[in-house]
């Protein structure tokens, strides 16, 4: 599994150190263990979990790192909110791969937020937090608000808008290019980039829709 993860990261052009690789594999083991009781994900097969969850989330890391590098202080101390995080995808992966980033994973299901807290403790991630709440109740400010297969783009931006810091962005991980959802976005939201992703071992379309509020 380690070799497959390293090969996948290499294919994504992603530099991971030994500790990050170990933490990603330990996170996957935790996800499998808790999944038996808490049903965090429908994916059960370890190989499928590697491609559909870990590598799928890792595919967004180079783009996130590039964005953070353009922030003041190269993004050190920046805050990210991962909405509808479920079993911590991509939030936990972001926290492992971007140690200078403070990551909060919010979910309306208490046991999923509890799993994130457990993962943070087990993996020694001081920059990871699980929050049991509705995203509409969170004030922020967050520099990046992310989601993966969470809701339609209009719902995502409407529910999370108050959590954005000034000059913050939304990072929405999607399957195929969501043209209809983009067309339905409110007037105060601008899509400034749709970034195609290629996930190693996964024959499916993936993209990031980058958005920001406009006056």
Q: Where are the domains of the chain?
A: 2-213
pLDDT band at 41 (very low <50, low <70, confident <90, very high): confident
CATH 3.40.50.150 fits 2-213, yes or no: yes
Q: What is the mean pLDDT of residues 35-41?
A: 73
Quick check: 170 and 145 in contact, CB under 8 A? yes
CA atoms within 13 A on the CB side of 34: 22
Task: Give the integer Cα–Cα distance in Å for 74 and 66.
Answer: 9
Please measure the distance between the N-terminal and C-terminal CA atoms of the chain and give it in whole angstroms.
47
- 18 token code pair: 């030994």
| Mean pLDDT to the nearest integer, 157-174 | 97
Burial 21-35 (b: 16+ CB within 10 A, else e): eebbeebbebbbebb
pLDDT at 36 over 80: no
pLDDT digits (tens, 9 = 90+) for 171-196: 999 999 999 999 999 999 999 999 99
Q: Report the predicted TM-score, pTM, of the whole model to 2 decimal places.
A: 0.96
Task: Determine the Cα–Cα distance for residues 45 and 111; give it in Å rounded to an integer.
Answer: 22
Position 42 scores a pLDDT of: 63
């Amino acid at each position: 599994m380690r070799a497959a993860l390293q090969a996948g990261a290499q294919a994504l052009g992603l530099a991971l150190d030994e500790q990050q690789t170990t933490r990603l594999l330990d996170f996957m083991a935790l996800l499998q263990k808790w999944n038996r009781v808490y049903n965090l994900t429908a994916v059960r097969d370890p190989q499928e979990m590697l491609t559909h969850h870990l590598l799928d989330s890792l595919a967004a890391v180079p783009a996130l790192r590039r964005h953070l590098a353009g922030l003041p202080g190269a993004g050190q101390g920046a805050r990210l909110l991962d909405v509808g995080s479920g079993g911590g995808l991509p939030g936990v992966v972001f926290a492992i791969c971007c140690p200078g980033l403070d990551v909060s994973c919010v979910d309306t299901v208490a046991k999923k937020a509890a799993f994130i807290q457990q993962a943070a403790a087990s993996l020694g991630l001081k920059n990871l937090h699980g929050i049991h709440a509705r995203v509409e109740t969170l004030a922020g400010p967050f520099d990046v608000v992310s989601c993966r297969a969470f809701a339609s783009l209009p719902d995502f931006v409407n529910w999370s808008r108050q959590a954005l810091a000034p000059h913050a962005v939304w990072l929405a991980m999607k399957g195929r290019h969501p043209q209809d959802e983009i067309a339905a976005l409110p007037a105060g939201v601008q899509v400034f980039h749709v970034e195609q992703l290629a996930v190693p071992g996964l024959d499916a379309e993936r993209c990031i829709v980058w958005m920001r509020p406009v006056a």
